[in-house]
């Protein structure tokens, strides 16, 4: 007799519950093993169903993890916006610290951020990719509204900031979690010490530098900065001996 755990979900409620169980299993496995090492068979076994039965709910393993990536965007965005909404003013350093701390506190999301463009988006349907991208665009727009309010950034600058933060968080997380064998190698050889990365402080420094550079180049900053001396043209106009022409 077939166990109830393996019976196909018939109602919409039962299907949603089964999909939630699959996502929960993938989330738990991803946190413990790393997304790259979790197979569809692993997820099916954790839920208590055969792999072929699981494929009734998700087209591929990549679709499962892409769904978790979208949920990660929504959860991180809501957290960051809640932090920003409480402030009437802030600094580049504070915003960089908030973004870096929020991402570093979500290791599975960081792992997924790296895996999404490399692997997850490449083994799902075009419609699945479209749905995923629309979720991320919505969250970027919501975060951008708060960043423009607080820092006076343009829309392009906010998009660049969020793209820099999330792509770098994904890359740094991979570097920060090389696995026991490589970590031991890096720590045993002083010449490789730089390979041992701490995600949050490095991400914070990079984002602080990025935002500080934007502030320095803003019209407001230019208004309060000392004016550069006018270049002298004495002799150039009268003698025709100006700067050399490019070859």
Reported as a single tens digit per residue, the pLDDT across 17-63 is: 999 999 999 999 999 999 999 999 999 999 999 999 999 999 999 99
- DSSP letters of 111-166? HHHHHHHHTGGGGS-HHHHHHHHHHHHHHHHHHHHHHHHHH---HHHHHHHHHHHH
Reported as a single tens digit per residue, the pLDDT across 209-230 is: 999 999 887 665 444 344 444 4
Q: What pLDDT does 233 receive? A: 41
The 3-state DSSP class for residue 7 equals coil
In order of 29, 30, 33, 55, 88, the CA distances from 40 in angstroms are 11, 12, 13, 9, 47
Q: What pLDDT does 8 receive? A: 61
CATH, domain 15-58, list 3.40.50.10490, 1.25.40.10, 1.10.260.40, 1.10.10.60:
1.10.10.60
Q: What pLDDT does 142 receive? A: 98
Comma-separated ranges of CATH 1.10.10.60 domains in the chain: 15-58
Comma-separated ranges of CATH 1.10.357.10 domains in the chain: 61-216
Residue numbers in the chain where pLDDT is lower than 50? 1-6, 221-247
pTM of the model: 0.82
Q: What pLDDT does 244 receive? A: 39
Q: What pLDDT does 247 receive? A: 39
10 Å CB burial of residue 1 (0-12, 13-18, 19+) is exposed
CA–CA distance, 101 with 204 (Å, rounded to integer): 8
Bin 179: left if φ > 0, else alpha if -120 < ψ < 50, else beta.
left
**Contact partners, residue 166, CB within 8 Å, separation at least 6:** 103, 113
The tokens for 200 are: 């949050």
CATH number of 61-216: 1.10.357.10
Q: What pLDDT does 194 receive? A: 82
Q: What pLDDT does 88 receive? A: 93
Matching residue, tokens 């990025």? 210
Using the Cα atoms of residue 182, residue 188, residue 192 and residue 197 in order, give the sign of their dihedral: positive
CA–CA distance, 247 with 244 (Å, rounded to integer): 9
CA–CA distance, 213 with 216 (Å, rounded to integer): 5
């Amino acid at each position: 007799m077939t166990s109830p755990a393996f019976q196909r979900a018939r109602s919409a409620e039962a299907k949603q519950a089964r999909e939630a169980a699959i996502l929960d299993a993938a989330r738990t496995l991803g946190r413990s093993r790393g997304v790259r090492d979790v197979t569809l068979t692993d997820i099916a076994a954790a839920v208590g169903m055969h792999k072929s039965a699981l494929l009734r709910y998700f087209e591929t393993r990549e679709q499962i993890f892409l769904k978790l990536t979208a949920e990660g965007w929504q959860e991180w965005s809501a957290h960051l916006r809640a932090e920003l909404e409480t402030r009437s003013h802030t600094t580049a350093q504070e915003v960089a610290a908030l973004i870096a701390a929020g991402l570093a506190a979500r290791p599975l999301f960081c792992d997924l951020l790296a895996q999404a463009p490399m692997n997850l988006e490449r083994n799902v349907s075009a419609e699945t990719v479209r749905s995923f991208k629309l979720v991320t665009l919505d969250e970027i727009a919501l975060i951008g509204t708060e960043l423009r309010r607080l820092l006076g950034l343009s829309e392009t600058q906010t998009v660049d900031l969020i793209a820099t933060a999330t792509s770098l968080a994904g890359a740094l997380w991979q570097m920060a979690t090389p696995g026991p064998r490589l970590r031991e190698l890096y720590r045993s050889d002083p010449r490789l010490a730089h390979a041992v990365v701490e995600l949050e402080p490095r991400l914070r420094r990079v984002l602080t530098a990025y935002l500080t550079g934007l502030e320095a180049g803003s019209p407001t900053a230019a208004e309060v900065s000392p004016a550069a001396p006018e270049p002298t043209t004495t002799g150039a106009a009268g003698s025709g001996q100006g700067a050399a022409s490019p070859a």
